[in-house]
Amino acid sequence: MKRVSVDPNEGTVGFQIAPMIDVVFVIMLFFMVMAGAVKVEKEHNCRLPGTVETTKEIPFADEQVISITAKGEVLLNEEPMATPGDKLMPKLRDVLKRVKANCDAAKTPAVLTIASEQDAKHGRTMDVLDCAAEAGITDVSFNVVELE
């Protein structure tokens, strides 16, 4: 049997550029194919809310807030209207009548929100509702003020 001697420098190939070019072409081909599959956002045809223009003026309701404290005080938009002992509340009645007349003149609804504290008496709320009914205000909502 004959021995073959191998020279370590004889089989060095070096850096092969051809396989690297093949890999680069395959990667480039992949990205070219995938770029065609991406959808452009401007192709989506949708309308967002709020883009419609109106031709006439839209009236908004002017909300009046009546607060009823636990002591029985009545406040209209943070202004005192009645003391705890005043059951008829003539000042509140007059103001609500003027509010209703102004809203009727402007052809807008008179909206009233009654905000009572948790400890306020229900009878006081009924007194305020009587004033609103006498003024002709029918759009009434209720809110309970929570203690902090």
pLDDT score recorded for residue 57: 55
Does the pTM surpass 0.95? The reply is no
> Consecutive sets of 10 residues in the chain, 148 residues long: mean pLDDT of each?
64 78 93 78 65 58 86 91 88 91 83 90 91 91 74
What is the Cα–Cα distance from 129 to 112, expressed in whole angstroms?
10
pLDDT score recorded for residue 59: 62
pLDDT score recorded for residue 84: 87
For each of the domains in the chain, give its residue range(s) and CATH number, in order of start. 62-145 (3.30.420)
pLDDT score recorded for residue 112: 92
